[in-house]
Structure formats: C-alpha cells, structure tokens
C-alpha cells in the first residue's frame, strides 16, 4: 500500500468525454504523434462503449464504464501502441494500414487497463499512476460499504474493480474483432492476440504463485517476467505491427526476438525501480514489490548470493521482509543495504546490459532501413536500458532513483 492512507486520497467523479473529430488517416500524420493519435482513437471508441452502457443503466455507466474510459484515456505512456505502430511502419505499413492499426493499438491500451486494474486488486495497491487505483476510487465513492468492516479494501470495491477489468477486456476484444483487416492479416492478428491474452494471464498467475509460495527461483522469476511483461509489453505488440504490415517470417522472428530481450530488460529494470525508485517519478510507492512479497529476479538473485556466501543475517532479513505490508521506511532502507551487500543489483544491471546488446543484434538481423526502422531501434534501446536509470547500482543504498 502507499505510505499515505487511502482515507487521505480524493478522486473527482468521472466525466463524460467529448468525442473528438476523426484523426487523419495519413500514416505520416500519425508518425508525428503516435500517442495522440491512439488517444483520439481510444476516446472515440470508449465514447461508443459508454453510450451503449448508458442505454443499460446509469449507475453502472457512472461507476464503471465512464470511470474505465477515463482511466484508459487519461493515463499511460502508450508504449505498446508505439511498438506496434513503428513495427508496422518499419515493415512498410502505409496509409491503407492506419485505421486498422489504430484500432488494434487502442485495444492494446484497453487490455492494459484490464491488467492494471486486476493487478492492483491482487496487490491491494491504493495508488496507480500517482492517483487512487480503480478499486480505491470505488471505495472512496462508497465509504459506507467498508464502514462496518476491518481496515483494508472492501469486498465491494474489489469486486467492482474485477468487473471493470473484465469490461476492459471485453472492449479490447470487440475492437480487434471489428478492425477492418484483410482476411490473411486478420487471421494472423487474431492468432497473436489470443496468444498474448493467455500469456499475460499465465504470467500474472505465476506472479501470484511466486508470492504465495515465497519462491526464490531465479529461473521462475525470469519466466514470470517473460510471460507477464516482456512478451505482452514489447514482443507481441511488435508481432502485431509486423502482422498488420504482412511482414515475412524472417523479419517477424528477428523483431520478436529483439522485443523479447528488450522486454525482459525493461521489466528487470522496473524491478530495480520498484525497490530503489522515486515514487514521485514512478507513480508507485517505493518498496511495494517487497511489501507485497513479489518473487522478483532481484530478490531471488540476492537470496541465492547471500545463501551461497553464508551471510545468514541477510538471508533472514530478505526472508522476513517479503510480504510485510507495514514495512517501514527505515526497514526498507535496511533491505536496500542488504540487497547492495549481495551485489545482486549490479548483477541485474549486467544482465540488462547483455539483454540490451542481444536486442540490438536481433534487430539488426531484421535488415530494416529508413526513418521508421531507426525510430523503432531507438524505442527498443530506450526500453532495454533507459540512460537516466543507469545509476541505480552506483547510488547509495536507499537513495531514490529517477525513472
């Protein structure tokens, strides 16, 4: 949970969105601001979904549908649509591909909303993107639902958030199903989409399983990272972009391999930031992965190295701190010092560097040229090893790291 009590959080009632004019379909126009084009597509699609919800029930519309539309349209880095779009363009995508690509990109943002809303329920996170998480917003709207219960998230707010996540997945599937695609392209896109959904859920389950069993397996941690984050965040969006452009198998394999390496590196760095990051910049409380007991590669590696060195005090500390929701800031500082003492953060950094170089090699094998290919190469490099984050292992233990 965030250091600040949820009781001190405030959230404005969700508002009905204004439907913007249709964006230009010229690919060159989208190139100038992909995130803006995808957001406009999201606004238009969500407005249609909310209008249908309004015909069903006003309470459901206000509490769930409108709030979900606001959550999706007003936040996020649009990183998945960026990978999709620039893969499409690097593989020869033209104006004719733009409407379908924007529709699938919008679907990616909705399935991301599903993942985030459900993830916050499972982790009992009060904050998302620096604001109250979805279930926290519901709890603040209906304080009487939790008034007679023990402290903590109410079953009503959590159940409502689960339904909202389900609704986001339904909306995402609807967008992909309705996208205007040629039959061969549609077949390939649906194949990737179905695989991505199952991979994401499998990764989320492994994440839960690791927390529940207090897993210390580095191999399991990497498998979880690959399924929950790497494939879903980078590899499969690249595959979707290549499929939309009808790229050949050789190019697609090279792109997805580059994406897999960059995606794993991205999540390993995210795990570092989860312990050492500045909440003001990451939008999430520092140390939340430890408090929730997540079986990250960083913790698995630190435990292994401490155990091999016979440093029982560190082994005991890392074991006892996991899943400790009331972990104080001084205790978190001790955990950071213990992690540094094992050398695990440095080892994670080195693995990130190797993955970043492997991503570069795989991308080069795709033999893509032109401005779009260069932009895609830059995106992969930024995901694998953002330059502003390279000071994690050289900072003093416990010091905030900018993301």
Q: What is the pLDDT of residues 359-391, one digit of tens each?
A: 999 999 999 999 999 999 999 999 987 654 433
- Is residue 312 predicted with pLDDT exceeding 60? yes
Residue 160, pLDDT score: 96
How far is it, in rounded angstroms, from Cα 86 to Cα 68? 27
For residue 148, name the pLDDT band (cuts at 50, 70, 90): low
Give yes or no: residues 155 and 249 share one domain: no
Residue 326 domain-assigned (yes or no): yes
My answer on whether 293 and 399 are in the same domain is: yes
| Percentage of the chain lying above the pLDDT 70 cut | 85
The radius of gyration of the chain's CA atoms, rounded to the nearest angstrom, is: 21
Quick one: 138 and 264 in the same domain?
no
Q: Which domain holds residue 274?
A: 215-403
Task: Kindly state whether residue 3 falls inside one of the protein's structural domains.
Answer: no
Residue 168: count other Cβ atoms within 10 Å of its Cβ: 29
Among residues of the chain, what percentage have pLDDT more than 90?
61
pLDDT computed for residue 278 by the predictor: 76
Q: Are 135 and 121 in contact (CB under 8 A)?
A: yes
Q: What's the length of the chain?
A: 403
Residue 160 falls inside a structural domain: yes
Mean per-residue pLDDT over the chain, rounded = 85
Instruction: Say whether both 234 and 289 belong to one domain.
Output: yes
Lowest mean pLDDT among 254-263, 288-297, 317-326, 330-339: 317-326
Determine the Cα–Cα distance for residues 160 and 65; give it in Å rounded to an integer.
Answer: 11
Give residue 22's pLDDT: 44
pLDDT on residue 292: 75
Q: Which helix (H) or strand (E) holds 127?
A: strand 127-128
CATH of the domain at 289: 1.10.600.10
Q: Which pLDDT score is estimated for 326?
A: 72
277-286: average pLDDT: 71
* Count of domains for the chain: 2
| Per-residue pLDDT, 213 | 86
pLDDT for the residue numbered 393: 35
Structural domain contains residue 46: yes
Same domain, 147 and 267: no
For residues 389 and 269, the answer to whether their CB atoms sit within 8 Å is yes
Instruction: Say what the pLDDT of residue 7 is.
Output: 33
- Residues 174, 219 share a domain: no
**Residue 382, SS3?**
helix
What is the spatial distance between Cα 260 and Cα 247, in angstroms, rounded to a whole number? 18
Are 263 and 355 found together in one domain? yes
What DSSP element (H or E) covers 360? Answer: helix 344-365
Same domain? For 104 and 53 the reply is yes
**Confidence grade of residue 183 (pLDDT, cut at 50, 70, 90):** very high
Task: Please indicate whether residue 248 or residue 313 has the higher confidence score (pLDDT).
Answer: 248
- The candidate with the shortest Cα–Cα distance to 81, out of 111, 102, 100, is 102
Residue 159 lies in a domain: yes
The pLDDT-based confidence of 149 (bands split at 50, 70, 90) is: low
Clarify whether residues 49 and 118 are in a common domain: yes
In a domain, 4, yes or no: no
Write a three-state SS string for 213-251: HCCCCHHHHHHHHHHHHHHHHHHHHHHHHHHHCCCCHHH
């Amino acid at each position: 949970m965030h250091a600040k009590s949820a009781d001190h959080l405030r959230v404005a009632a969700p508002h009905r969105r204004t439907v913007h004019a249709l964006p230009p379909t010229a690919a060159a126009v989208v190139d100038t601001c992909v995130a803006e084009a995808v957001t406009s597509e999201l606004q238009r699609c969500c407005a249609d979904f909310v209008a249908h919800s309004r015909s069903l029930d006003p309470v459901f519309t206000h509490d769930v549908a409108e709030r979900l539309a606001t959550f999706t349209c007003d936040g996020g880095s649009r990183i998945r649509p960026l990978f999709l779009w620039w893969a499409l363009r690097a593989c020869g995508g033209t104006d004719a591909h733009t409407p379908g690509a924007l529709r699938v990109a919008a679907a990616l943002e909705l399935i991301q909303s599903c993942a985030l809303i459900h993830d916050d329920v499972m982790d009992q996170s009060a904050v998302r993107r620096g604001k109250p998480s979805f279930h926290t917003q519901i709890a603040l709207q209906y304080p009487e639902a939790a008034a007679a219960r023990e402290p903590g998230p109410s079953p009503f707010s959590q159940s409502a958030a689960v339904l909202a996540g389900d609704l986001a997945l339904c909306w995402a599937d609807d967008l992909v199903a309705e996208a205007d695609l040629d039959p061969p392209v549609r077949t390939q896109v649906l194949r990737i989409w179905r695989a991505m959904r199952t991979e994401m859920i499998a990764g989320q389950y492994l994440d839960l399983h690791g927390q529940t069993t207090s897993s210390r397996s580095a191999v399991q941690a990497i498998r979880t990272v690959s399924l929950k984050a790497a494939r879903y965040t980078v590899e499969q969006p690249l595959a979707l972009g290549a499929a939309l452009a009808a790229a050949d198998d050789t190019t697609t394999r090279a792109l997805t391999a580059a994406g897999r390496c960059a995606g794993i590196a991205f999540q390993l760095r995210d795990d570092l930031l989860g312990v050492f990051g500045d909440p003001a910049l990451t939008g999430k409380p520092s140390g939340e992965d430890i408090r929730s007991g997540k079986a990250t590669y960083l913790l698995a590696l630190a435990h292994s190295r401490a155990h091999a060195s016979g440093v029982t005090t560190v082994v005991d500390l890392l074991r006892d701190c996991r899943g400790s929701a009331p972990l104080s800031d001084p205790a978190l500082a001790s955990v950071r010092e213990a992690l540094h003492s094992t050398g695990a953060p440095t080892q994670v950094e080195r693995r990130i560097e190797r993955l970043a170089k492997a991503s570069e090699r795989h991308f080069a094998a795709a033999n893509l040229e032109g401005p779009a290919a260069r932009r895609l190469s830059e995106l992969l490099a930024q995901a694998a090893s953002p330059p502003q984050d390279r000071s994690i292992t050289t900072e003093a233990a416990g010091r905030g790291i900018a993301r």
